């Protein structure tokens, strides 16, 4: 399945990006993600690092942290390959 992500015209301040990254594991663990599509929920059922409670999917904080780290590493590689295409906030996300 291919996804098309929107192009954002505004950037978030570096401090806010870092705060979002640090809060994501707790937020996704405690509050979770609301998903009302039963087919989607059934596909997630039994997956490692996920707990389903009604229509909420709760994520293990370690799973969230690992996925953020993987994403940041991928973006870090892209940033190093083409440093002129990223702004300061995007560099903060990648830790460079």
Residue-wise pLDDT for 54-86, tens only, equals: 999 999 999 999 999 999 888 888 777 765 555
pLDDT band at 3 (very low <50, low <70, confident <90, very high): low
pLDDT band at 46 (very low <50, low <70, confident <90, very high): very high
Q: What is the DSSP letter of 18?
A: H
Paired with 58 in beta bridges are 51
Answer whether residue 20 shows pLDDT above 60. Answer: yes
Q: Which 3 state secondary structure label does DSSP give 58?
A: strand
What pLDDT shows up at residue 2? 66
Q: CA–CA separation, 21 vs 35, rounded Å? A: 22
């Amino acid at each position: 399945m291919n996804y098309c992500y929107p192009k954002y015209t505004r950037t978030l301040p570096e401090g806010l990006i870092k705060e979002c990254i640090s809060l994501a594991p707790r937020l996704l663990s405690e509050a979770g993600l609301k998903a009302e599509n039963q087919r989607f929920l059934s596909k997630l059922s039994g997956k490692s690092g996920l707990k389903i409670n009604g229509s909420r999917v709760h994520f293990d904080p370690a799973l969230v942290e690992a996925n953020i780290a993987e994403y940041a590493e991928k973006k870090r590689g892209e940033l190093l390959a083409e440093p002129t295409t990223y702004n300061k906030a995007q560099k903060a996300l990648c830790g460079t």
